[in-house]
Chains A and B, each alone.
Chain A
Amino acid sequence: MTMPTFRALIAEDEPVLAHTLLQTIQRLWPELQIGGVVENGVAAVRESLAQQPDILFLDIKMPGKTGLETAQELAEDWPDDVLFPLIVFVTAYDEYALQAFEQAAVDYVLKPINDTRFQKTIERLKARLEQHLERGDELERIVSQLRALVPPAPVASERLTLIRAAVGNEVRMIPTTEVIYFEAIDKYVNVVTADSESLIRTSLKELLPQLDHNQFWQIHRGTVVNLHGIHAAVRDDTGKLSLKLRGRTESLAVSRVFTHLFKQM
């Protein structure tokens, strides 16, 4: 039985290292097709979604988005009917307690690359690819992996209780208790209450640590919802979860990464 052709994508911002990784793969696993090399996290997300590779070599420290952010974004946006790629994280230094990866679904490679260690990675990948049909749970595995790996948002010393939002030539004071949800729009955040929407000039990432985590939950990389603003969580036929809100007609999508928050009691 011949093995089908598998395709891989490399995301690495340092050109010499990208070249070295490419050469090492070609030398030790010549059958693997390399769909290209991308140099930052933004391109890694775009190209992964376009090429839908079987394997993704992902540098952890990249401009644009880190490898972990890239993986999380892919997990959120990956189409349901396509197998999620096997992810191999590449890093120069053990900064994310990499032992955690070793026993788990994802693997990692340390730079400088060691042939013997890399050969093991390849064997592991091949074994996983052969169980092709059993890979349906890859996405679930990576999601639970990411949950453990992505450090929890730091907690700021000052809790935000009032949002000051400039609207025209007035500054609106919005108590956080009235906010139903926050929505990231580029570098801004849209603050949504039952009867208003206002943009503030801050990123969701900066805002998150200042919110009370017992009241506000992140449900998508771009959405943070006030628990008191949720009317119900609804699962559709395809298993996708969304939230109906109090006082708003639109509903909010909950990404795969955060669906575990809404299990029934």
Chain B
Amino acid sequence: MKHSDREVTLLKGNEAIAHAAIRCGCDGYFGYPITPQSEILETLAAEKPWETTGMVVLQAESELASINMVYGGGGTGKRVMTSSSSPGVALMQEGISFMAGAEVPGVIVNVQRGGPGLGTIQTSQSDYFQSTRGGGNGDYNVIVLAPSSVQEMADFVDDAFTLAFRYRNPVMILSDGIIGQMMEKVVLPPFKPRRTDEEIYRDCPWATHGKRPNRPHNFCTSLELDPQVMERHNQHLQEKYATVKAKEVRCEHFMNDDADYLIVAFGSAARISKKAIELLRAEGLRVGMLRPITLWPFPTDEIATLALRVKGILSVEINAGQMIEDIRLSVEGRCPVSHYGRMGGMIPTPEEIAKTITSHIKEIWTT
């Protein structure tokens, strides 16, 4: 099958993540099975990349072990990753905080399911707070990419590694059961070789890849008992996060040029919302959408600009209303902001979203 000379295949989102990892020069994957993301580990095991690229694939004994293997691998400058679903990612938060503190790059994939606790195996977006507020202890942020298609599942793996090493910071791909389980057309990225040891020595002078002549020992640690030094380290981290906020915001505009009303949605909720917009546009209502692609850093300025000219914003999330807080912080009262969502594994339908918009136009967004 050729679409303009590129190989098009049909894959589940989870399978696309696994194939993309092998192709983008990933050195290691450490994970523990959990629905709805087990196909990532299963696909890697079936593909046996250790026989081709030399990539290590290991089923760890737990999520705690997985994230600490990522901490260790990342500390040596290797491109390493793990994946899990919500309760498993909750277990990893300590390790992610340690990585942020020690400035160790790594990629964590969260194919979300409903909570709290073990919750449900059905889809959800209720880990927004956990992902965008750090999740573990301390003043830190994780860069969060939110794919809304199988193609983006494939594309964001390499993007995540690039960001992780550019900023020496953990990067999360925040997906969900819908995007992970559905099959769509996808063009996989071209093969890129794993970095050689010499390339890692060159690109990661901070990494603990063995003592080299003419340089001091490298340490990867989050512990510093001198508060003055630790405050300087925190200031450095905050400066880094400010740079990320200034440079790495990504979002998609959908039918916003003439929009009177705006939906803000990410991931699978954005896909469902697009269908709702098709229904509303057919009724002559000018509704558009802003889809944050990076959830942290959040597209604050873009939303603030749109808030000046739309009559109302609906945050559509598959949760009780989490991203709406970031939208309100961006809008700063310039226009009304409401939330629509479902919980516990239930999925909002396009019709429900369209009905919410039409009733808001009649009752709340009257100007």
Q: Do A and B bind each other?
A: no
**A positions within 8 Å CB-CB of B:** none
